[in-house]
Amino acid sequence: MPFARIQFVAYEIYTGPTPPTNGGGKRRYVGQASITTDIQERVALMKEAIEKAAASPHIDTRSGTLKLFMAPEFYFRGPGGAYKLDDIVGVGRSGTSLVRQLSDLVRVNKWSQWMFVFGTAMGFSERDSHSKWDYILPNYSWFPGSKAWRDYYKEVYNVALVQLGGGGSQKNAESRRRVVMKEHRSDIDFLEDPQLGIALDRALHLSPGKKPGIGKEQQSRNDDGASIFSLADTTYGLEVCLDHLEERLARSPPAKGQDEVQVQVIPSAGMSINNDAVAVTRNGLVFHCDGLGNGLKKPNWRWGAHSAAIVAARSPVTMDSERTPIGVYASEQAHASAAAVQRVFAAPAVGASIRYYMPADIPMAKKVK
């Protein structure tokens, strides 16, 4: 059904590795040694958070209001810095995969007026165990393609998982899912020398599939990784962290005849809304949720989480867009047990919070002329 309004709900949780300590020592990614357990516990925390949000008196329950719940970048990454890709997408539509567990959470009718950006999931693919270079080069040659080279480097993927709630069947849930892949790797996406897991110099980030250009970011398939997609008769543009600073959407605006972006969403870990990167239609909406810092400038900056939501009052084409903050109803603790959060996150003792923004009108749909 088409919605007239949208209410942003931010799941503010620290998703970074352990912060630096005064005594030094190696930093680490946080999580359970069993990847199955790690994913299950993170999904359980997500379930607790969305259930608490749904029961909140701060939620607009009118039928014409879509609730958009968003978690930060790196919500799903595990103790090694990334999961095997099969753990995320599964094999043969496995019921234990991350995407299946998340869609099972919200495919019942109760969530038909909700949309979820489940943060991002970090994955890596195992490189082929055999290569032509195995027969030409010694095992420990560092020539690209050799066994040693393949064992050392990991091809990594950072994907935002978007799900429109409801749908009932698993097949319908799949049609209501969108996947956006982050294009630009930041030097803070991985630790330089972690206690365990993938180090920055071992992470080979998948290169962008296309050069920037008009019409290049329109999704042609639900899972093709492009950043502009439609759900519930609304057009969204999604940028993960550094993609926003690099103006991924602004550099690849919709082509003639394509829909202008009505809502821009930014899950991140170390980012804020960048004026030059706002890429929505006139009076479009921008929603940001960050899992690394408290959003303040030095000397008041701290490890933590924050969010923001604005109305972009002018078209970015004019280069003088005005940002009008969307008001906040309230913030509240997301979880009953901080200890449960700290089993899989390096979160501070306060755990995590949920911030409820006031509903905002979705701008009228327009096509580029």
Residue type, 177: R
| 307, β-bridge pairs | 289
Would you write out the chain's pLDDT as a tens digit for each of its 369 residues?
689 999 999 999 999 999 887 666 789 999 999 999 999 999 999 999 999 999 999 999 999 999 999 999 999 999 999 999 889 987 555 567 899 999 999 999 999 999 999 999 999 986 554 444 444 444 445 555 555 656 677 889 999 999 999 999 889 999 999 999 999 989 899 999 898 889 898 888 776 667 788 999 999 888 889 999 999 999 999 999 999 999 999 999 999 999 999 999 999 999 999 999 999 999 999 999 999 988 888 877 888 999 999 999 765 555 556 789 999 999 999 999 888 999 999 977 567 999 999 999 999 999 999
pLDDT of residue 281: 94
Residue 242 has phi, psi (to 5 degrees) of -60, -25
Does 98 reside within a domain? yes
pLDDT of residue 125: 82
pLDDT of residue 132: 46
pLDDT of residue 305: 94
- Spell out the SS3 assignment of the chain: CCCCEEEEEEEEECCCCCCCCCCCCCCCCCCCCCHHHHHHHHHHHHHHHHHHHHHCCCCCCCCCEEEEEEECCCCECCCCCCEEHHHHHCCCCCCCCHHHHHHHHHCCHHHCCEEEEEEEEEEEECCCCCCHHHHCCCCCCCCCCCHHHHHHCEEEEEEEEEEECCCCCHHHHHHCEEEEECCCCCCCCCCCCCCCCCCHHHEEECCCCCCCCCCCCECCCCCCECCEEEECCEEEEECCCHHHHCCHHHHCCCCCCCECCCEEEEEECCCCCCHHHCCCCCCEEEEEEECCECCCCCCCCCECCEEEEEEECCCHHHCCCCEEECCEEEEEECCCCHHHHHCCCCCCCCCEEEEEECCEECCCCCECC
Does 39 reside within a domain? yes
Give me the residue label for tokens 């639900």: 222
| Nearest CA-CA partner of 7 in 352, 334, 327 | 327
Does 86 reside within a domain? yes
Does 152 reside within a domain? yes
Does 164 reside within a domain? yes
Does 308 reside within a domain? no
pLDDT of residue 342: 92
pLDDT of residue 137: 46
Does 156 reside within a domain? yes
Domain coverage including residue 148: 5-213+221-230+327-361
Measured CA to CA, the distance from residue 241 to residue 26 in angstroms comes to: 25
Question: What's the domain count of the chain?
Answer: 1
- Residue 62, token pair as written in the block: 């009118």
Does 270 reside within a domain? no
